[in-house]
């Protein structure tokens, strides 16, 4: 069983998968309306073992397996949420969620507006997303923009075990439907953290590393790579501030814009394709709100505009430290060298 015995307040070392497991266990224990279901989440404990031990602890009436029918899973959850329950469903893999897209966009996202606020849908759809695990076709995709473009949905993604716990607990407590994107390549990375979902907002970005010369903006699986790039940039004389968006919709423009107005330069990093990717919206928002503060155009480092490649090629597709450093070099430093003395 994964990390179920430790008290929530006790600091300890755990993985993101363990933190998510604990978040589900605590929510199930504290609220009888919470249900967890999806493909193989019961006896098996999920493909990534995020639900390990939950069916044995809480019973098959509250944690159970479903047929391989994503539209049916989400449609059933919508009906449950309409009638006062708080379902948490798993889509198993990112691209497996596409058969449920009509239920998500036509019903889950619209019902509250359609009923003029009388019907809430407090449900969470957990989606392991992104690459980095050597998955074959339909098992690795970065589908965040499909959901962020859909009004009526909250879309969040953690980058660390502590955030995974806090954000999932807050998502389950939210009266709104939440798409919860779990970066699968970070499931087994460990962190010493105190698990607590109080004191932070579901829709706020956080500064992971302070800096003065430029702002690096990222989220989910790409955040750790972005922090590595910031460390490497420091050795070349650039002081990079790193912002973890956490919430993709709504977008925390206040936190991001405040950083960019201080630094004057920004790079957005994500692994989804660049064309019409999430970074395009971030760049547009910053261009509109920070135009007179910018020393250079907002740049994007992203996956290539291709279908997700096979496992032996994905290391070329995913943005790495070198590509981020190349973007930093292109931020028009000729007339104003970084305060730390570096520059292109």
Residues 6+ apart with CB under 8 A from 316: 309
- Distances, alpha carbon 123 to alpha carbons 14, 16, 88, 278, in Å: 26, 21, 6, 24
Main-chain dihedrals φ then ψ at residue 202, nearest 5 degrees = -65, -30
Q: How far apart are CA 55 and CA 182, in angstroms?
A: 21
Residue 51: DSSP 8-state: T
Cα-Cα-Cα-Cα dihedral sign, residues 328, 331, 335, 340: negative
Q: How far apart are CA 96 and CA 91, in angstroms?
A: 6
- Distances, alpha carbon 254 to alpha carbons 8, 182, 206, in Å: 31, 24, 11
Tracing tokens 């019973």 back to the chain, one arrives at 59
Report, as residue numbers or ranges, the catalytic residues: 139
Which of 242, 167, 158, 244 has its CA nearest to residue 200?
Answer: 167
* Polymer length of the chain: 344
Q: How far apart are CA 174 and CA 239, in angstroms?
A: 37
């Amino acid at each position: 069983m994964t990390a179920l015995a430790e008290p929530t307040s006790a600091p300890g070392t755990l993985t993101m998968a363990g933190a998510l497991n604990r978040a589900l266990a605590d929510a199930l224990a504290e609220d009888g309306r919470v249900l967890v279901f999806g493909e193989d989440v019961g006896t098996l404990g999920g493909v990534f073992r995020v639900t390990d031990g939950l069916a044995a602890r809480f019973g098959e009436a509250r944690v159970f397996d479903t047929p391989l029918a994503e539209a049916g899973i989400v449609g059933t959850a919508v009906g449950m949420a309409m009638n006062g329950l708080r379902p948490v469903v798993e889509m198993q893999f990112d691209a497996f969620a596409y058969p449920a897209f009509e239920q998500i966009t036509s019903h889950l996202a619209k019902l509250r507006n359609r009923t003029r606020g009388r019907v809430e849908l407090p449900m969470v759809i957990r989606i392991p997303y992104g690459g980095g695990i050597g998955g074959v076709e339909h098992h690795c995709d970065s589908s965040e923009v499909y959901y962020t473009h859909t009004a009526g949905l909250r879309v969040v993604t953690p980058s660390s075990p502590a955030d995974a716990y806090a954000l999932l607990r807050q998502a389950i407590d939210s009266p709104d439907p939440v798409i919860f994107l779990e970066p699968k390549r970070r499931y087994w990375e460990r962190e010493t953290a105190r698990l607590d979902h109080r004191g932070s907002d579901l829709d706020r970005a956080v500064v992971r590393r302070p800096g003065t010369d430029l702002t690096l903006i990222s989220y989910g699986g790409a955040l750790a790579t972005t922090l590595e790039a910031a460390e490497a940039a420091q050795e070349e004389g650039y002081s990079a501030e790193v912002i973890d968006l956490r919430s993709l919709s709504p977008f925390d423009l206040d936190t991001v814009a405040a950083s960019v107005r201080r630094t004057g330069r920004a790079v957005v990093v994500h692994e989804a394709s660049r064309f019409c990717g999430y970074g395009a919206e971030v760049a547009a928002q910053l261009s509109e709100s920070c135009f007179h503060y910018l020393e250079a155009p907002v740049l994007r480092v992203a996956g290539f505009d291709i279908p997700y490649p096979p496992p032996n090629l994905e290391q070329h597709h995913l943005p790495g430290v070198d590509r981020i450093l190349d973007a930093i070099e292109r931020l028009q430093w000729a007339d104003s060298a970084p305060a730390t003395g570096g520059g292109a």
